[in-house]
Amino acid sequence: MAEYSFKSSGIVSSDPRLIRDVAQNPVGIKTPINLGTGRSGIFQMNFNPVDQISDNLKNLILTNWGERLGNYYYGSNIRSLTTELTAQQDFDSEAMRRIDAAVKNFMPFVELDSFNSSFDSDVVAGSTIGADGLSVVSLTVKYNIPQLRISGKSIEVTLYCIG
């Protein structure tokens, strides 16, 4: 009877020669723009798609119509509401409507979950913005990304209102 040796029939899956680090490719530019370090290149980059979507959503909410070259109607156009601020309920409903329309148009893969706003008429001491009649509106938008199985993410946007 012949004897067989399996020592040369392959390599074990835990062999260090099989373990290799694969560098992720950047997904997009991180805003606000900063000079890059390491693998980022000239600008800081997002390497995680969820971080890039969050960054893009924040930029979509903060962009007004006419600010994006080549696409006049890009953005939620909520900054124009800051000069028309009369009541929080009116502001909330109109801001929510505008953000929802912009997300459905430009980022349909994002599912908005909830919207909350808070008003503060006391501007932080030592701030460069300290004039009377100025208030701060903080918007918190909770959202989900069903295709990536991400839920419960939120972003906060701060707007300064003349009122």
Q: Angle, nearest 10°, between helix axes 49-62 and 88-106?
A: 130
Residue 44, pLDDT > 70, answer: yes
Domains of the chain: which residue ranges?
26-162
How far, in whole angstroms, is CA 25 from its chain's centroid? Answer: 19
pLDDT of residue 51: 94
26-162 belongs to CATH 3.90.25.10: no
Q: Which pTM value belongs to this model?
A: 0.77
pLDDT of residue 126: 46
pLDDT of residue 64: 93
- Read off the pLDDT band of 128 (50, 70, 90): very low
> In the chain, what percentage of residues exceed pLDDT 70?
83
Instruction: Give the separation between CA 103 and CA 49, rounded to whole angstroms.
Output: 17
Q: What is the pLDDT of residues 4-27, one digit of tens each?
A: 666 666 777 777 777 777 778 899
Q: What is the pLDDT of residues 69-116, one digit of tens each?
A: 999 999 999 988 877 766 667 888 899 999 999 999 999 999 999 999
| DSSP string over 116-148 | EEEEE-SPPTT-S---TTEEEEEEEEEEEEGGG
Judge contact between 98 and 80, C-beta under 8 A: no
User: Tokens in use for 147?
Assistant: 């295709």
pLDDT of residue 82: 79
